[in-house]
Amino acid sequence: MTIDKERKKEIINEYKQRKTTGGVYKITNTVNGKYILKAEVDLQSFQNRFNFSMRMNSCLHPKMQKDFNEFGAEAFVLEFLEEVEKKENESMMGFRDRLKKLEEAWMEKYDREKAY
């Protein structure tokens, strides 16, 4: 099955026009309470990567690798702490900057000693 050029352009345009929801997530090791807290520009894509890596029993973050090997995928849970939509006129760089500030604000709420 081939897609004609017009349909391909239409699909690309639809992809570019879709709403982007980013935010801050936290992956917690339920055994020892250690966590990783990060901002991500596309939470849905990250959710998919996380779920896939857990099914494949592979670790997403090198900092967690030792604990991942010891406790396994079932010891880690993902939660979204805050979700924000990219503004229509906002550049991707501006969106990333806004998310980084949000990440820093969330880090203030958690014990940094428990961060990976």
> pLDDT, tens digit, for every residue of 65-98?
999 999 999 999 999 999 999 998 999 999 999 9
Domains of the chain: 20-114 (3.40.1440.10)
Half-sphere exposure of 14 (CA within 13 A, CB side): 6
- Identify the band that residue 11 occupies on the pLDDT scale cut at 50, 70 and 90: confident
d(CA 28, CA 33): 6
In the numeric block, which tokens belong to residue 75? 């010891």
User: What φ, ψ does residue 77 adopt, rounded to 5°?
Assistant: -125, 145
Convert the pLDDT of each residue in 23-56 to its tens digit. 999 999 999 999 999 999 999 999 999 999 999 9
pTM: 0.82
Indicate the range of 4-8, 63-67, 101-105 predicted with least confidence.
Answer: 4-8
Candidates 26, 36, 30, 33; CA nearest to 82 is 26
